[in-house]
Amino acid sequence: MHEYSLACEIMDNVVSISESNQAKSVNSITVGVGKLTHVNPDQLMFCLEALVSDNIAQGAEIILNEIYPDMECQCGFSDSGDKFCTRGDEVVDDIRAFLEVPCPECGKMMHASGGRELIIESIDIEQ
Ligand SMILES: [Zn+2]
């Protein structure tokens, strides 16, 4: 599973960062997940929670912070992608929300900028 290997990579980094900072334990881990990464946040969370069971990060709270792209138009308009996650009354909160979005100013198709990152934003450790 895609998310499992990503979770392993994140957890390897968490452990090595914590150890190099002489951590006794880890309180929380905040992971930024871009909305355009094709990562399923629920699956990633499930894998991370499974992986913190027998290492220095045992018991750590895992926080997933979803990162929205900015929507930009060639006319100069730009706004945060989270404002474009509805189509009529329907909430579209996945990658489809950021494809073929017309600019509210000029009607041209906007492009998404950012939102492709998968990063450890912060690790709160006990020293
Ligand atoms: Zn425009």
Name the burial class of residue 127, with classes exposed (0-12), middle (13-18) and buried (19+) by CB atoms within 10 angstroms of its CB.
exposed
**Shared domain check, 46 and 16:** yes
| Domain range for 107 | 70-113
Considering the entire predicted model, what is its pTM? Answer: 0.85
**Shared domain check, 11 and 64:** yes
**Shared domain check, 101 and 49:** no
Tally of domains within the chain: 2
* Residues paired with residue 78 on neighbouring β-strands, in sequence order: 72
**Shared domain check, 95 and 60:** no
What pLDDT is recorded for position 38? 87
Give the distance (Å) from ligand 1 centre to CA of residue 76: 6
Give the distance (Å) from ligand 1 centre to CA of residue 16: 45
**Shared domain check, 29 and 16:** yes
Low-confidence ranges of the chain (pLDDT < 70): 1
